[in-house]
Each structure stands twice: as C-alpha cells, then as structure tokens.
Amino acid sequence: MAQASGAEIPQIKSRIGAILRATSGNFLEQFDFFLFGFYASAIAKAFFPAQNETAALLNAFGVFWLGALMRPVGAIVLGSYIDRIGRRRGLIVTLGIMAIGTVVIAFCPGYETIGIAAPVIVLLGRLLQGFSAGVELGGVSVYLAEIATPGNRGFYTSFQSSSQQVAIFVAAILGYVLSEVMPAETVAAWGWRIPFFIGCLIIPFIFVLRRTLEETPDFLAMKKHPSASEVFASAVANWRIVILGMMMAVLTTTTFYFVTVYTPTFGKTVLKLSTPDALIVTLLVAVANFIWNPVGGALSDRIGRKPVLLTIACLSLVTAYPALHWLIAAPTFGKMLAVEMMFSFYFGVYSGTMLGALVEVVPAHVRTTCFSLAFALAAGLFGTFTPFASTWLIGHTGDKASPAYWLMCAAALGIIAALAIYRDGETIATRDAVPA
C-alpha cells in the first residue's frame, strides 16, 4: 500500500478537519434526539401525564413527531438561504436554532410545576429543533459532497450519518452510567435531565468548530447564486425528483429511528429487558452504524449506487418480520443484539450509499434545498414517526413484531425509488431535472 507523501499529509489532515467541523452540529442534533427517545417514559411522566403508560408514551412520541413536521419548512426556508448565501454561514445559523431548542427542553419545568405550559414549551423546543434539522443534514451532506475528492463522493458524504452515531454512542454511555449510579426512581424524577444539561454545555465548543469552516469550492465557483424566489420556483419545478428522493431516503430514516431512538423503549417496555441491556445494545448499534456507513459509501463509489440500494432494500423487505418474530418469541439480550445488528448493517450500508445518491440526483443550483426537502419529508412523514407508529401497531394489533410492517413499507418505497431513479442506465437528474 502506497504511503502518503509529505505534501499529501497536510491535505489529508485539512480534509479530516473539515469533515469534523462540518459534522459537529449533527452530534448535537442526534444527541438530543436519542435522549428524547431513550427517556421517553420519564419525559412523558414529566410533561404529558395521562391515564396509562401507553397513552403518555404516545403523547411524548407525538410531540417528537410534530417537531419533525417542521423539517420540510426548515428545508425550504433555510435550504434556500444556504443555496443563496453559502454553506458555511448557513450551517452556523442552523446550529444556533438547534441550540435554542435544546436549551428550552433541558430547562423546562415539569407539568406539576407550571401545568399546561410545560408541554407547550417542550413542543416549541421540538419545533425549533425540527426547523433546524430540516436543513442540517442536507447542508452537511452537500458540504461534504462538494469537498470530496474525485470518485469518493459516497465515502465523504457517508460521514454525515457516521457522525450521528458518535452522538448515539456518547448518549448511551451517559445513560448507562446514570442507570448504574442512580436509583431508577431518581432517574425518572429528575436524573434524565443531566444528559440534556451536558448537551447544553458542549454547544459553545461546537460553535467554535463551525465558525472555522471554509466555503466550498463548488459554491464559490457558481457564477450566479439563485434568489429565494428562484430557489422556491426551482424546487417546485423539480417536485418529481424531490418525491423520489424522499422515497429513497425513507428506509434510511425509519431504520435509523428504529435501531436508535425506539430500541431502548422497545427493549424495556415491550421485551421487558433491563435498562442496562437496552443501553448496551444501543451503544453497540451506534458503533456498528459508524463502521457500516463509510463502508456503504465506499462500496457504492466502486460498484455504483443502484446495486447497493436495491440489495439492501430487498433484504430488509424479506427479513424484517421474521427477525422481529424470532426475537419476541423468547426475548433475550443476545437475540435483541443479533436482530439490531442486522438492522444496523442494513441502515449503515444503505445510508452511506443513499446520501451520495441523493446529492447526485438533485439539481446542482438548488442542491441544498432539494436534498434537504427530500430528506426532511422522509424523516418527518416516516422516520421520526417510527416510535409512534411502532407503539401504535403493537397496541392495536397485539403483535409485538408488528413494527416490522413499518420497516417493510419503507423498504418497498426504497426499491420503487431506486428503480425509477436509475432507469435505463441513467439517473433521473440526467433525464428530468428542470433548469433554473
């Protein structure tokens, strides 16, 4: 294997630094999202009192999902801003909005203290987070794609998703430590806020990292940057590409929220496993996700996006229900780990491929807006709805393996999208993109 020359080493370090600075905001977003899912039971009791545990959980997951519905709004408003003003300045703005939402949720008093104002304030915090998240992932993916070296776009963009797994890992570690040093009653009463406070403390550090970002060469090379009205008009004109992009991204978002945000609740309330067991599984899933994402991106750089997308989507379609049925028949830590690792493999390889594919199929002049809108629709309508949908399916069917139906629908959409996007050896961007 050839070794990097002395001249190449500074360039490699510079690119690694750019990746770290760009993806730092993803850490904050997913750190808070995971904590909301893991401590859903405690949050439900603190802010959404109800007659039974299932109703309280549905209230909490409902607010979690409502925040995600702001993603498409953020994708359009903030996406047009980034396409017009620049990647660097836009990513700093999105981080500021996300930080405000995180602080609001962390410091909001409970229902017993301020009554109905508590769930209202938490909802406002989630709406701010969703508004920011609508363009955060797209903005970072576009940034990474535009600084990628030739032939490595899939590998570079995959680190957008890999960076989120670091947040899941850290959050799972904190949750595990809390469960070991605090009684369960204390964690449920107020201990769950500690990880949220820690998230607030790292915000200044992330701001420092983001401020040192450099603008991408692709954006600087554009002779004309579209106005907000031109971005909106182009996004509408390219609606078919956006919808197919959304369908392609659905499998990524649903599988991600299932193996991270919903897994701790599934392990504790459905499978009746211990809190430490559920956390350890989530921690190991985060490690596996971190590894599989760049593997998927690099593989798609070598053999193409279409075969990887279709293979993983087909595997997910035929194995989701059998795997969950096998797990719920006799739940154990080992079986839960095995099933989650299977889904982690599907998520990581598919996501690492999908991110590069989505950057390539959306029009370049409105790349951030169309990418963000497609991903935001996938996350808002499907991905972040996964915990709610899974809880509802189990409650109304009595089948603890029924969340598989949700994952199978996502896989079917992915298959349809891949076949439509990569038809006849060319992409939809080549055939159907509408110019500015």
Hey, where are the domains in the chain?
Answer: 22-207+228-432
Q: Would you call 191 helix, strand, or coil by DSSP? A: helix
Instruction: Compute the distance between CA of residue 93 and CA of residue 81 in angstroms, rounded to an integer.
Output: 10
Task: State CA 241 to chain mean position distance.
Answer: 21
**What φ, ψ does residue 330 adopt, rounded to 5°?**
-155, 80
CA distance 217 to 128: 30
C-alpha closest to that of 306 among 153, 405, 418, 393? 418
**CB of 219 closer than 8 Å to CB of 88:** no
Question: For residue 367, how far is the Cα from the chain centroid?
Answer: 19
Could you tell me which of 95, 213, 124, 160 has the C-alpha nearest to residue 371? Answer: 160
CA distance 249 to 236: 19
CA distance 246 to 362: 11
SS3 state of residue 151: coil
At position 207, the amino acid (one-letter code) is F
22-207+228-432 CATH, one of 1.20.1250.20, 3.30.428.10, 3.40.50.740, 3.40.50.300: 1.20.1250.20
* pLDDT tens, the chain, 436 aa long: 445 545 455 566 677 787 888 887 777 777 876 677 667 777 777 887 766 666 776 777 777 677 777 888 888 888 888 888 877 888 888 888 888 888 888 888 988 888 888 888 988 888 888 888 888 888 888 888 888 888 899 999 998 888 888 887 888 788 888 888 888 888 888 888 888 888 888 888 888 888 887 877 777 777 777 777 887 888 888 889 999 999 999 999 999 989 887 877 788 788 888 877 877 888 888 899 999 999 999 999 999 999 999 999 999 999 999 999 999 998 888 998 999 999 999 999 999 999 999 999 988 778 888 998 999 899 888 988 888 888 889 989 999 999 999 999 999 999 999 999 998 555 555 455 555 4
Task: Report which secondary-structure segment, H or E, holds 390.
Answer: helix 386-397
**Is 0.75 surpassed by the pTM of this model?**
yes
